[in-house]
Amino acid sequence: MNTDMQASPQTMFTETEISKQKRWTENVMRIFFLVMTSLMILPLLLIVGYLLYKALPVLSLEFLFTNPKDNMRAGGLWAPFLGTIYLVVVSLLVSAPIGVFAAVYLNEYARESWFTRITNLAVVNLAGVPSIVHALFGVGAFVLFAGLGESILAASLTLAIMTLPVIIASTTEALKAVPMSFREACWNLGATRWQTIRRIVIPNSISGILTGVILQVSRAAGETAPIMFTGAVFYKNIAEGNLFAYNITEQCMALSLHLFTISTQVPDVTEGVPYGTAVVLVGSVLLVNAAAIVLRVYLRTRKKW
Amino acid sequence: MNILRKKSATNLPFSETAIELFIRLCGISSIIFVFGIFFFVFREGAGFLFNGLDLGQFLTSVEWQPTSLNNKRYGAFALIVGTFSVTTLAMCIAVPFGLGAAIFVSEFCSSKLRETFKIVIELLAAIPSVVWGFIGLTLMNQLIIKVFNAPIGLTMLNGSIMLALMSVPIIVSIAEDALKAVPDSYREAAEALGATRWQVVYRVLLPAAKNGLLAAVLLGAARSIGETMAVLMATGHSVNIPSGPLSWIRTLTATIAAELGEVARGDEHYQVLFIIGILLFTITFAVNLIADLVIKGIRQES
């Protein structure tokens, strides 16, 4: 907004009583709203700081690469960490193509009509469905109806559907940013719609699409409720250091569920372990998000049009 | 190139037709999934919903005794009250801060500061709900015990603060969009008449953007209603009609999360949990629909 209103008036005018009062209320309001906004930043710093401080005694590389032991009262995070990676990767493989193509449909194919309106409404509502209802859906559809049982596959599919709107929303935004003239130029050369999309639209919006995919990863990694009854398990012993220790038709541990378990269900957990788990979970999620932000900022600086 | 091919779309090569079909299928997938969610949740709960469950008792009784041996009761009233009271309190905390921050970010701050704030808000939104629950369980629990001298800090207030922090990012981003959608000519006209920035906000922008702000609050509330892990861990999780912010409560979402693992499939109790799921789905669907209509309303006006 314009800041010239603050330009000091003394050089030209003598300040009247009214303009003095106006300047004063203006400053008070500005500070008031600044404080309101800062009060939201404070919790973020406070929480991350508090978790880090409490987790310091246990944090080490070994913590990440050893299994929980002693009935989850001590030990590291290998099994839950690997489980979360499995869930995220499998859900990404499902939701990324569907989400990207759904956005392509909404932005490149669909015309303005009542049907498009309903599709958009469905995306909004899909994003608004509570996570625990997604869990019930996962149980009803994948675990029982499709007969997948409680498995990584069932949990990942549930996560994939839940995180679909994230990808659709950011891909739509990325596609919209590609100027119409690019498409028109391509059509005029005789290219079909799909050729235009594949050669022009998607290459020009790929970084925006990637941002959406990254955000999907962060969202899927943090969710607890949808995987609780569809594939994540309280405890499972797997080989340390083996990246292929899980089978996708079996259950796995997950970081988020592990944090819930050791902070509410297991008595006498070693002091720093739940904090360490929380730090690893928040740390990975924030790191992934930071990557998306960096990508977006970088993009903006080198935009070609 | 073949001229005929340009004339009709049916002469496209097979791969092109196939990929178009696939894209169209993906396009309508959201509709399929929304219906699928309703269908499969309904399917598991339908048997008991139409045959056996006393719906009046379900909606009005406070007796939630699904595991009692000879006196099973499925009264979800306390759970419904729990969900709405914790959400209301959360909104009382989140709305002033959320709208205040949105006003600051869109009207009072430089563009560099705005980018920074937006990044922080985005990071705040990314913190998983189970971590909020854990913070409620540890930090906020001790804080409430100390500040209010309460015997236990896992209360409605605790859950509300966590929900407020979780829904503030949604409120800020949607409210900011709504404020940005007000044409600059409104601001210029008001400033030309000698209004201060605050007067512009209070007299011009807030009335002009009220629909968008309402939608922001509604979507924030929908998020709070659907939140599971944070309220499960932070509110004390016991069936109770709350008498104040320091009493413990239990919500619809938390009940499903806590009990679904312990019931046998097809059991009455199991089906009741799915009926709660239908109730939740309906509530959030309605709130989202209203918010969407409110937003569409402004778009048509401007």
Residue B123 falls inside a structural domain: yes
Could you read off the pLDDT of B6-34 as tens digits, one per residue? 444 556 778 888 898 999 999 899 999 99
Q: Which of B71, B122, B62, B156 is nearest to A296 (CA)?
A: B122
pLDDT for the residue numbered B299:
61
Could you read off the pLDDT of A111-167 as tens digits, one per residue? 888 888 889 889 989 999 999 999 999 999 999 999 999 999 999 999 999 999 999
Q: What is the CATH number of the domain that holds B123?
A: 1.10.3720.10
Mean pLDDT across the stretch A190-208? 89
Give the minimum alpha-carbon distance from B149 to chain A in angstroms, rounded to a whole number: 22
The phi, psi pair for A264, rounded to 5°, reads -125, -30
The pair of three-digit structure tokens given for residue B245, joined into one six-digit string = 């912010």
Mean pLDDT across the stretch A98-119? 89
Q: Could you tell me what percentage of chain A is helix, strand and coil, using 3-state DSSP and rounding each to the nearest 5? A: 70, 0, 25
ipTM attached to this prediction: 0.90
| Helix (DSSP H) and strand (DSSP E) numbers for chain A | 12, 2
Domain boundaries, chain A: 78-301
Q: Which residue from A165, A224, A286 is facing B129, i.e. has the nearest CB?
A: A224
pLDDT for the residue numbered A41:
80
Residue B238 falls inside a structural domain: yes
Residue B39 falls inside a structural domain: no
Instruction: Count the neighbouring beta carbons within 10 Å of the beta carbon of residue A54.
Output: 18
Best B14, B130, B176 residue to mutate vs chain A (most A CBs within 10 Å): B130
Burial B28-48 (b: 16+ CB within 10 A, else e): bbbbebbeebbebbbebbeeb
Residue B38 falls inside a structural domain: no
In this structure, whether the domain defined by A78-301 belongs to CATH 1.10.490.10 is answered with: no
Residue B12 falls inside a structural domain: no
Residue B130 falls inside a structural domain: yes
DSSP H or E segment with residue B16? helix B14-27
The pair of three-digit structure tokens given for residue A260, joined into one six-digit string = 């819930």
Domain count within chain B: 1
Best B20, B29, B188 residue to mutate vs chain A (most A CBs within 10 Å): B29
The pair of three-digit structure tokens given for residue A56, joined into one six-digit string = 């310091």
Q: Which of B28, B119, B20, B22 is nearest to A164 (CA)?
A: B28
At B281, the pLDDT band (50, 70, 90 cuts) reads very high
**Using CA atoms, how far apart are residues B223 and B231, in angstroms rounded to an integer?**
12
Q: Which of B68, B83, B138, B239 is nearest to A47 (CA)?
A: B138
Residue A264 near residue A172, CB atoms below 8 Å: no
The pair of three-digit structure tokens given for residue A237, joined into one six-digit string = 């012993």
CB contact under 8 A, B27 and A106: yes
Of A35 and A221, the one with more pLDDT: A221
Mean pLDDT across the stretch A74-103? 93
Mean pLDDT across the stretch A58-81? 85
Q: Which residue from A36, A164, A168 is facing B101, i.e. has the nearest CB?
A: A36
Is the confidence at residue B4, as pLDDT, over 50? no
pLDDT for the residue numbered B194:
84
pLDDT for the residue numbered A18:
82
CB contact under 8 A, A222 and B123: no
A contacts of B44 (beta carbons < 8 Å): 136, 139-140, 144
**Alpha-carbon dihedral angle through residues B169, B175, B180, B184, given to the nearest 10 degrees:** -140
CB contact under 8 A, B126 and A40: no
Residue B36 falls inside a structural domain: no
| Helix (DSSP H) and strand (DSSP E) numbers for chain B | 16, 2
Residue B262 falls inside a structural domain: yes
pLDDT for the residue numbered B10:
53
Could you read off the pLDDT of A7-40 as tens digits, one per residue? 555 555 677 888 888 888 888 888 888 888 888 7
Could you read off the pLDDT of B191-215 as tens digits, one per residue? 899 888 888 998 999 999 998 999 9
Residue A55 near residue A275, CB atoms below 8 Å: yes
**Alpha-carbon dihedral angle through residues A151, A156, A161, A165, given to the nearest 10 degrees:** 160
A contacts of B105 (beta carbons < 8 Å): 37
Could you read off the pLDDT of A175-185 as tens digits, one per residue? 998 999 999 99
Give the minimum alpha-carbon distance from B124 to chain A in angstroms, rounded to a whole number: 6
Distances in Å between the Cα of A292 and the Cα atoms of A10, A214, A267, A296 are: 47, 6, 38, 6
pLDDT for the residue numbered B2:
41
Q: Which domain holds residue B106?
A: 73-301
